Amino acid sequence: MKQFTQGIKDGSAIGIGYLSVSFTFGLAAVSSGLMWWEALLVSMMNLTSAGQFAGITVMAAAGTYIEMAISQLVINLRYALMSISLSQKVDKNFHGGKKMLLGFAVTDEIFAVAMSREGEVSGRYFAGLATLPYLGWTTGTFLGAVCGNILPQNVSDALGLAIYGMFIAIIVPAMKSDSRILKITLLAIAFSFALYFLPGLKNISSGFAVIICAVLASAIGAFLFPMDDAEQEEV
């Protein structure tokens, strides 16, 4: 039980952060045409910021199911890498059904806190760690979706920037500290501009555009500047 309460404590800051970001997700989801309970269900069943924003974009554009599946696969592929790392750190009682249930809660932030814990990670600790972020994420979505109709237009317009602000806050420090990430991320951004504005290319839907840009730039990065293990730990 002590492990669980320690997890709750360690997850509280993430929970507050998620509350605010999911609020903007709720706003965005409703303004893109979802009902409040649909937005809430998306958050309850996915618990992933970038993936969910991409998901409602595909829904709004009436994209195909294949497009939805591939966009989720590519955007959330990083979780596979995190899950692999985490699988090396959990204690031997953390297996089977516990993994199938709690593995759902692998997010960038929960993963980062779990990995920074000294020694092995128990199922109880991880369950505690995931509890407040999950509640924050779902509650924030609900509030954002419901408030979307009440807030003045210029406030909800401005809040449309919040998710991108968060993305910028993730990529800029990494670009600053590693010149390879700087170059490859700028390359992806350049591809993205090209797909958006070039005639002939701009008919590609936004979901696929992100996939094409990210996969192409990352492949070029892996080929031109492969990282060794020690370097990846730093990133």
Partner 1 sequence: MDMGVFWMYLLVMFVVTYLIRVFPFVIFHKKIENKYVRSFLAYIPYTVLGAMTFPAVFFATGSVISASVGVIVALGLAYRGKGLFTVAICASLAAFLLNIVEWLEWLAIF
Q: What is the dihedral of CA 168, 169, 175, 177, to 10 degrees?
A: 170
Residue pair 144/35 in contact by the 8 Å Cβ criterion = no
| Residue 121 main-chain phi, psi, to 5 deg | -105, 125
Binding region for partner 1 (CB under 8 A) out of 2-10, 112-120, 131-139, 163-171 = 163-171
Q: Which residues inside 187-216 make contact with partner 1, applying CB under 8 A?
A: 187-189, 191-193, 196-197, 206, 209-210, 213-214
Residues between 215 and 234 that touch partner 1 (CB under 8 A): 217-219, 221-223, 225-229, 232
Residues 137 and 133: their CA atoms lie apart, in Å, by: 6
Closest to partner 1 by CB, 8 or 227:
227
Query: Does residue 4 belong to the site contacting partner 1 (CB under 8 A)?
Result: no
Q: Does 131 bind partner 1 (CB under 8 A)?
A: no
At residue 90's C-alpha, the angle toward residues 86 and 102, to 5°, is: 75
Nearer to partner 1, 38 or 91 (CB): 38
Least distance (Å) between residue 3 CB and partner 1: 19
Q: Which is nearer to partner 1, 6 or 76 (CB)?
A: 76
Which residues between 35 and 94 bind partner 1 (CB under 8 A)? 38, 41-42, 45-46, 48, 50-55, 58-59, 62, 65, 68-69, 72-84, 86-88
Q: Which two tokens stand for residue 154?
A: 């210029």
Q: Which of residues 11-40 bind partner 1 (CB under 8 A)?
A: 16-17, 20-21, 24, 33-34, 38
What six digits make up the tokens of 119? 């020694």
Number of residues that bind partner 1 (CB under 8 A): 100
Alpha-helical (H) ranges within 32-107 are: 36-46, 49-60, 65-75, 77-87, 97-102
Q: Does 115 bind partner 1 (CB under 8 A)?
A: no
**Shortest Å distance, C-beta 113 to partner 1:** 14
Helices H, strands E: what count in the chain?
Answer: 13, 0
Find the binding residues for partner 1 in span 132-161 (CB under 8 A). 154-155, 157-161
CA distance 74 to 96: 26
Question: Which two tokens mark 81?
Answer: 């890498």
Task: Spell out the residues 6+ positions from residue 6 whose beta carbon is closer than 8 angstroms to its own.
Answer: 125, 128
**CB of residue 119 vs partner 1: minimum separation in angstroms?**
18
> Which member of 167, 179, 198, 201 binds partner 1 (CB under 8 A)?
167
